[in-house]
């Protein structure tokens, strides 16, 4: 079970810290007890690497690259990452072009194509398996205090992703973060999503990227102290036996 976890948002179309560019896309740098995972690569490699340097995260430290789906705003920095770290294990969904997969096999340490079945990719780190028409996967990290679920765009529906994660590991979700793909949704639909996530027992949320301003505002109102503002530069930490910060999002801990 993972005891210590640090997630740094390194690319987003929102800025948590001042003076970071707000280009469309998403990427997060995830540090666990034993492994470091880069989740997606945003839309621009040069900006991604600049952001990572400013935030003290080094792509050379990553063991694995987890790609949620093949849309440009999540793989735009792929070449730049591989130029500085070719020793990555890449986990990508079967929705990727087989031609791109073939090319990546020559550029990275190893490439694993994920199918529809949920799979453990690293100790206590799981892919939901590909979901929806686009074939998107999300990342599940099993910690001592619950599940951390990270989504790229949540095209299959953020509720469906949460339901699958809970069904897979039979544990509650401590933190659900990433793009929730609600930017085109009306207030009623957003309210239904929030209600269902609360019914599922999702404790903390960090909606960003394609979640949309109205949805982010509604999540903030509904989750209160359990809402975590996203954006480039946001750092979320989970530490062993950190009961004092269990519910303190302002201290960057769920």
Confidence of residue 245 (pLDDT cuts 50, 70, 90): very low
Q: Is 65 helix (H, G, I), strand (E, B) or coil?
A: strand
CA distances from 72 to 23, 24, 43, 106, 247 (A): 12, 10, 6, 21, 35
Tell me what the pLDDT averaged over the chain comes to: 94
**pLDDT value at residue 241:** 54
Give the domain CATH number at 78: 3.60.15.10
What whole-number distance in Å separates Cα of residue 159 and Cα of residue 145?
21
The DSSP call for residue 2 is B
DSSP state, residue 88? P
Task: Say if residue 254's pLDDT is above 90.
Answer: no
Q: For residue 31, what pLDDT is reported?
A: 98
Each residue of 87-143: pLDDT tens digit?
A: 999 999 999 999 999 999 999 999 999 999 999 999 999 999 999 999 999 999 999
pLDDT at position 239: 80
pLDDT value for 57: 98
Cα separation of 153 and 149, whole Å? 12
Q: What angle do CA 20, 219, 173 make, to 5 degrees?
A: 95
Average pLDDT for residues 68-78, to the nearest whole number?
Answer: 98
What digits encode the pLDDT tens for the residues 143-171?
999 999 999 999 999 999 999 999 999 99
Res. 250: pLDDT tops 70: no
The whole domain housing 78 covers 5-251
Helix axes 187-199, 158-169, angle to 10 degrees: 10
Write the CB contacts of 14 (distance below 8 Å, at least 6 apart in sequence). Answer: 22, 208, 209, 230, 231, 232
Q: What is residue 234's predicted lDDT score, i.e. its pLDDT?
A: 98
Tokens coding 220: 């903030």
Q: How many domains does the chain have?
A: 1
Residue 43 CA neighbour count, 13 Å, CB half: 11
Categorize the per-residue pLDDT at 252 as very low, low, confident or very high, splitting at 50, 70 and 90.
low
């Amino acid at each position: 079970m993972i005891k210590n976890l640090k997630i740094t948002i390194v690319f987003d179309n929102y800025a948590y810290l001042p003076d970071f560019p707000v280009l469309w896309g998403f990427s997060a740098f995830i540090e666990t007890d034993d492994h470091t995972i880069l989740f997606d690569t945003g839309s621009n490699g040069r900006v991604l690497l600049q952001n990572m340097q400013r935030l003290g995260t080094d792509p050379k430290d990553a063991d694995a690259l987890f790609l949620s789906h093949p849309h440009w705003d999540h793989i735009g920095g792929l070449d730049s990452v591989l130029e500085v770290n070719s020793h990555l294990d890449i986990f990508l969904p079967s929705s990727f072009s087989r031609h791109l997969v073939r090319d990546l096999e020559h550029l990275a340490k190893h490439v694993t194509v994920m199918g529809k079945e949920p799979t453990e990719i690293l100790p206590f780190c799981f892919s939901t398996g590909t979901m929806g028409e686009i074939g998107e996967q999300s990342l599940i990290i099993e910690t001592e205090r619950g599940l951390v679920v990270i989504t790229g765009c949540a095209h299959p529906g953020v509720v469906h992703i949460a339901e699958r994660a809970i069904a897979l590991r039979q544990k509650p979700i401590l933190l659900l973060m990433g793009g929730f793909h609600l930017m085109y949704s009306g207030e009623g639909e957003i309210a239904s999503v929030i209600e269902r996530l609360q019914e599922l027992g999702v404790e903390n949320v960090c909606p960003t990227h394609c979640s949309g301003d109205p949805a982010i505002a509604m999540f903030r109102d509904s989750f209160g102290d359990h809402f975590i503002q996203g954006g480039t530069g946001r750092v979320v930490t989970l530490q062993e036996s950190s009961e004092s910060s269990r519910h303190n999002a302002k201290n960057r801990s769920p």
